[in-house]
Amino acid sequence: MIISVASGKGGTGKTTVAVNLALLLAQEPSRKVQFLDCDVEEPNAHLFLKPEIRSSESVTIPVPEIDREKCTCCGKCAEICAYNALAVLKEEVMVFEQLCHGCGGCALLCPEEAIREREREVGVLEVGTAGAIDFVHGRLNIGEAMPVPLIRAVKRRIVPEALTIIDVPPGTSCPVVESVKGSDYTLLVTEPTPFGLHDLKLAASVTRELGIRSGVIINRADLGDQRVREYCEEEAVPILGEIPYDHNLARLYSTGAVVLDQGREYLEVFGGIWDSVRADSGIESLVSSG
Amino acid sequence: MKQLTIISGKGGTGKTILTASFAVLAKSKVMADCDVDAADLHLVLHPTVMETHEFEEGERAVIDRELCSECGRCREVCRFEAISQDFIVDPVSCEGCWVCHYACPENAIRMEKNICGEWYVSETRYGPMVHARLGIAEENSGKLVTLVKQKAGELASDQNLELILIDGPPGIGCPVISSLAGVDLALVVTEPTISGTHDLERVIGVADHFRVRSAAVINRYDINPEISGEIERWCDKKGVPVLGKIPFDKIVTEAVVAGTPVVEYSQNSVSAEIESIWRGVVRLLAIEHTSAGQDNNEP
């Protein structure tokens, strides 16, 4: 069972919701919970879950390496490269590794078999545990342009028998799609402002395009207006829960404190959200109730 | 002509809110909304679209089932798991590398141009604006960012405008890198939280990597004055000037709901601080101060 937490707009509370939901669900001893932080550009979940990292591995993509002895500078590789990652000069071929998508086309099609591939690191995958939760995240190297190969590496660690919570990056383009793809359900966290609404509609288009059922959580629910609620009613998008703005909560969040630990009322907020997710996603029969 | 990009690392720190207020305060400028996959600046600046253009970039593979012999070679060579067992290309997974097209022994795979979004040249009360909408689930956001900046640059050149004011995306990946290319200053909006500081360090790392000068603003600083102080000390050590610290105030949300830049919505401690930050930007960029209607406290 895979539940992703997305938003479109940054800063609405995805990580807060994902982390606290995972902690709530992990309280049920018969349930195996996995947490995947797919925001590999700016991973934050580890700041709250504070996992003990047990392994760290380099994540690479294959990039071309030209054998200058065999290369005739025929130009075929640059011709076929869809990303302008190769430039063929009179006496040599230049490789712009940052542009390379690792498609393998140049190596496959070089008439002189002069291209090998070598693995270039784009980031690091870390795996560990936070209490009863299995934790995985990726950290993109500074200066790297493409998060998608690292997100794929994080998602390859999904354990099918577990309940997996995925923290998704902000936005609506390929990193978000890669993170959300294959989820059974997506929580869309928003705020009741024009920015929240605009980006929620974009995020909802992504889940719809991918055929994934989703529901909305309105964070800082009393700071804004009614247009998000009206949109959800008109489009029959379920509102799974509302979290009111709370200055105390904001301060707790700022320190890396886990909201769930701070009092009964927060336990109830997230308990309520989980009950709504269960009801709307129809997973009652798949997951043991807690 | 100078270029200012407003970025953050962490999402939701207040980039767009600040950009919108700068649009009021800056004298001679064009706005560029480079947060192409979740563009919000138009919700505050209310542009009238004058030109709409298609953004076409890259291709997607399409298999002609009549010609396909189902040999499976395409599935073997595809590195992106984009071709299903019944030989249908998933356009969401396809990265347009053309390898299947070249590898297919039946010539059954054609590459179709991919229209991934639109870009617009608009007029606002505050001056011209270039913005865009990336299609849902598209790639090439970095290329669209580059295009928006380029078009804004052309406009600035044509109209003799002094500044390209760029609302940047969150994160550190290719859209952010594209939004930083060739700019004179990256203004990083952060917040006094451990997430904010973690992400600030990474995004300043990116600005440094690409040799772009940076400055910082701490938004909602009074949520945690201790962490705010830590940020100031870190920035000081790194030689990143902190141009201001904006207090938390619900009036900012009210202004967003009203679709109005904060400095126009009301005069209070938030707008005063934004105006002070703007004066800091003017000094760093050596551009002309403020448009009509604001107090000119110093050149």
pLDDT tens digit sequence for A145-176: 999 999 999 999 999 999 999 999 999 999 99
What average pLDDT score do residues B240-253 get?
Answer: 97
Residue B14 per-residue DSSP state: S
Task: Report which secondary-structure segment, H or E, holds B189.
Answer: strand B185-190
* Residue B80 contacts A where some CB pair is shorter than 8 Å: yes
Task: Determine the residue among A16, A230, A254 to mutate to test chain B binding: the one whose Cβ has the most chain B Cβ atoms within 10 Å.
Answer: A254
Task: Report which secondary-structure segment, H or E, holds A152.
Answer: helix A148-155
Query: pLDDT class for A136, splitting at 50, 70, 90?
Result: very high
The three-state secondary structure class of A243 is: strand
What average pLDDT score do residues B163-190 get?
Answer: 96
Mean pLDDT score of chain B: 94
pLDDT at B19 exceeding the cut of 80: yes
Q: Do B206 and A170 touch (CB under 8 A)?
A: no
Cα maximum dimension of chain A: 72
pLDDT at B288 exceeding the cut of 90: no
pLDDT digits (tens, 9 = 90+) for B35-94: 998 999 999 999 999 999 999 989 999 999 999 999 999 999 999 999 999 999 998 889
What is the nearest CA distance from A206 to chain B, expressed in angstroms? 6
pLDDT at A288: 47
pLDDT digits (tens, 9 = 90+) for A100-123: 999 999 999 999 999 999 999 999
pLDDT at B296 exceeding the cut of 50: no
Q: Do A104 and B206 touch (CB under 8 A)?
A: no
pLDDT digits (tens, 9 = 90+) for A19-64: 999 999 999 999 999 999 999 999 999 999 999 999 999 999 999 9
Residue A236 per-residue DSSP state: T
pLDDT at A163: 96
Would the ipTM clear 0.90, i.e. be above it? yes
Percentage of chain A beyond pLDDT 90 is: 89
Residues 98-137 of B with CB under 8 A from A: 98-99, 102-103, 134, 136-137
pLDDT at B291: 52
Q: Do B194 and A12 touch (CB under 8 A)?
A: no
* Residue B139 contacts A where some CB pair is shorter than 8 Å: yes
Q: First vs last Cα of chain A: how many Å apart? A: 15
The three-state secondary structure class of B24 is: helix
Nearest to B195 among A47, A209, A247 (CB): A47
Q: Do A103 and B16 touch (CB under 8 A)?
A: no
Residues of B in Cβ contact (< 8 Å) with A194: 40, 43, 256-257, 259
What CA–CA distance (Å, rounded) separates B130 from B146? Answer: 12
Residue A89's identity, in one-letter code, is: L
What CA–CA distance (Å, rounded) separates A24 from B22? Answer: 43
Residues 211-270 of B with CB under 8 A from A: 220, 223-224, 227, 248, 250, 253, 256-257, 259
What average pLDDT score do residues B153-166 get?
Answer: 97
Query: How many residue contacts between A and B have a Cβ separation below 8 Å?
Result: 180
pLDDT at A151: 97
What CA–CA distance (Å, rounded) separates A231 from B74? Answer: 43
Percentage of chain B beyond pLDDT 90 is: 90
pLDDT at B298 exceeding the cut of 60: no
Q: Do A256 and B194 touch (CB under 8 A)?
A: yes
Query: pLDDT class for A284, splitting at 50, 70, 90?
Result: low
Nearest to B223 among A104, A145, A251 (CB): A251
pLDDT at A266: 87
Dihedral sign of CA atoms B165, B167, B170, B172 in order? negative
Dihedral sign of CA atoms B41, B43, B45, B49 in order? positive
**Residue A170, phi then psi, degrees to nearest 5:** -75, 165
CA-nearest of B157, B152, B114 to B132 is B152
- Inter-residue contact A244 to B250 (CB < 8 Å): no
Nearest to A140 among B8, B36, B173 (CB): B173
pLDDT at B292: 42
* Residue A101 contacts B where some CB pair is shorter than 8 Å: yes
The three-state secondary structure class of B147 is: helix
Residue B120 per-residue DSSP state: E
pLDDT at B289: 63
* DSSP-assigned letters across all residues of A201-229: HHHHHHHHHTT-EEEEEEESTTSS-SHHH
pLDDT at B139 exceeding the cut of 90: no
pLDDT at B3 exceeding the cut of 50: yes
Mean pLDDT score of chain A: 94
What CA–CA distance (Å, rounded) separates A4 from A14? Answer: 9
CA-nearest of B60, B39, B3, B250 to B132 is B39
What CA–CA distance (Å, rounded) separates B281 from B96? Answer: 41
pTM for this prediction: 0.93
Nearest to B12 among A10, A209, A210 (CB): A10
Each residue of A188-204: b (16+ CB within 10 Å) or e? bbbbbbbbbbbbbbbbb
Compare all CA atoms of chain B with the CA of A62 and give the residue at the minimum distance.
B79
A218 Rama class: left (phi>0) / alpha (psi -120 to 50) / beta: beta
* Residue A198 contacts B where some CB pair is shorter than 8 Å: yes
Query: pLDDT class for A98, splitting at 50, 70, 90?
Result: confident
Percentage of chain A beyond pLDDT 70 is: 98
pLDDT at B248 exceeding the cut of 80: yes
Query: pLDDT class for A290, splitting at 50, 70, 90?
Result: very low
